[in-house]
Amino acid sequence: MTELRDRLQSALGSSYRIERELGGGGMSRVFLAQEVRLGRQVVVKVLPPELAAGVSAERFEREIRLAAALQHPHIVPLLTAGSQGDLLYYVMPHIAGESLRSRIAHERELPVGDTVRILRDVCDALAYAHGHGIVHRDVKPDNVLLSGKHALVTDFGVAKAVSSSTGAATLTSLGMALGTPAYMAPEQAAGDPNVDHRADLYAVGALGYELLAGRPPFSGLSPQGMLAAQVTATPDPVTQHRASVPPALAALIMQCLAKHPADRPQNADEVLGRLEAMATPTGASHPSRPRSLRAPRPPSAGRTLSASPSCSASPRSACSRWPIRWCTCSGSPTGRSPERWASPPRACPSSCGPA
């Protein structure tokens, strides 16, 4: 442990000062460090030697650079990446809070409302990343961080960086190294080279299943048995483990867990929309995705308008009900002609709008 820390400090140079190891396992060893110039805490993740040995440093850094371009409120950004000998590392901001894995460990099952909110944030991040051509490939509780009431997805692009730059002959060995068989889509577990964004949606289903049922779709199996189950076995309905799960949410979770990608929701935006419908009261809109405000339609030709005694200006507050008003003025040639005011108007007539 001390040897790895010393080597990492040497690779980081004077830009970062390592404070302590936070833990890790599977994909990486994790260290808390301070960025000296800006005085902020960061997290440095190092690939374990047995995984880094077969990785091309050049291709790894190239994939990390692509992922570093992602800028989204629910994505933990990658700040930099580097290598020194067989040491491969990447740096991210330190997020105050806890991992979703930690919350599951002490709560086991989460409230339905919290589950919907967390999955919504995760799918929001996935929809953005998929739109930029980046598939996560390793969505799991360890890679979801909770800060306040928000969930952030971390390690975007890292699994792709490792898988595209390793010389592993089969995905099975890589999957064990990543420690993600419980969340792997069947096509990933089978070693399909054409895995696409729908594999992330399978992982969302596995994630949601665990948040609601207190256990992933398949458990108590060896890594090899877990991969086989992902390909061939059908998970129990989530309602079998928790009967109170709303039918719409249960149906969405089980659809995401479909064996064939074509039977799952076809994109993260679709899943996001269904989750937002569950989280939003009828007729209301979620503050993070406000509906566009539309100006009221102009009155129809036969509609009666209230007359105004004059066209003298009055304070804007007199017409604050609508951003655009259709008003009448007795001083016009007909005395009843509608007059459109731009929004916001400098002043309003003394009487406005439909009677």
Residue 298 and residue 314: Cα distance in Å, rounded? 21
Active-site entry in 121, 124, 138, 200: 138
Q: What single-letter DSSP state applies at residue 77?
A: P
Residue 64 and residue 233: Cα distance in Å, rounded? 34
Buried/exposed 109-146: b ≥16 CB within 10 Å, e otherwise: bbebeebbbbbbbbbbbbbbbbeeebbbbbbbbbbbbb
Closest alpha carbon to 205 in 242, 253, 246, 245:
253
Residue 126 and residue 264: Cα distance in Å, rounded? 15
Tokens 């000296």: give the residue: 36
Q: For residue 196, indicate whether it is catalytic.
A: no
Q: How far is CA 125 from CA 71, 118, 154, 158, 233, in A?
A: 10, 11, 10, 15, 29
CA 304 to mean position of chain CA atoms: 50
Please state the length of the chain: 355
Cis preceding-peptide flag for 48 (omega within 30 of 0): no
8 Å CB contact between 183 and 203: yes
| Cross-strand bridge partners of residue 188 | none
Residue 305 and residue 265: Cα distance in Å, rounded? 50
Residue 158 and residue 179: Cα distance in Å, rounded? 13
Closest alpha carbon to 207 in 143, 288, 156, 128:
143
Residue 216 and residue 184: Cα distance in Å, rounded? 11
The H or E element that residue 265 is part of is none
Burial of 353 (0-12, 13-18, 19+ CB in 10 A): middle
So which residues are the catalytic ones? 138
